[in-house]
Amino acid sequence: DAKTTQPPSMDCAEGRAANLPCNHSTISGNEYVYWYRQIHSQGPQYIIHGLKNNETNEMASLIITEDRKSSTLILPHATLRDTAVYYCIVRPDRYGNKLVFGAGTILRVKS
Amino acid sequence: GAVVSQHPSRVICKSGTSVKIECRSLDFQATTMFWYRQFPKQSLMLMATSNEGSKATYEQGVEKDKFLINHASLTLSTLTVTSAHPEDSSFYICSATDSYGYTFGSGTRLTVV
């Protein structure tokens, strides 16, 4: 699976949009971009995933560049409860295969 | 949505004893389950992959005789930490997958004293 690079930490003001970048320059054509987050001392939570088109759900939006070498997760109106570690993972969309986590980005939402 | 129940949430055990952690998929049948370990301020590290009715596949460096995994049904996997020592103290997380994706348990905080 392709490797990803994320900034170690970011801060965001409450109520503002949080934009979390992810670099995946070695992504191959059949690999999806997944985002999960982990709030302190809990299991990871699925946020969103996409292949090449931008995606939006009730939690977030995912913007993937045209060359698919990078993506941005957008939390449109961050709240204090969004403080968590956010993981960007690239992998084929074949469920049953292992999900490998990188270091992720610590997002701190501040009031 | 899919729910994975993990028990216990916290356990303290004495050095040398064994501890069993259960992972159940409550509303779906999990074809595959995964076990992770997470040390403080670190990311999740995959320990093993288990499929119902077959032996688990362990990641490199994980002692299969120490971390026993049983996946007896499509809704239950167990991780037993045998002869636990203080260095086994960690946060253990399971994940279950079906055709819709991956769902994680809430984790088990193991402290070995």
Give the model confidence (pLDDT) of B8-25 as tens digits.
999 999 999 999 999 999
Instruction: Output the CA torsion A8→A14→A16→A22 (10° steps).
Output: 20
Residues B61-84, mean pLDDT to the nearest whole number = 94
Q: Which residue in B21, B44, B71, B94 has the most chain A C-beta atoms within 10 A of its own C-beta, making it the best mutation to test that interface? A: B44
Q: Whose CA is closest to A22, among A12, A31, A33?
A: A33
Contacts of A1 (CB under 8 A, 6+ apart): A31, A89, A90, A91, A92, A100
* pLDDT band at residue B72 using 50, 70 and 90 as cut-offs: confident
| C-alpha–C-alpha distance, residues B29 and B35, integer Å | 17
Closest CA to B94 of A83, A49, A98, A107: A98
Residue among A4, A41, A105 with most chain B CBs within 10 A, to mutate: A41
Chain B nearest C-alpha distance from A80 (Å): 20
Give the least confident one: A43-47, A56-60, A91-95, B83-87: A91-95
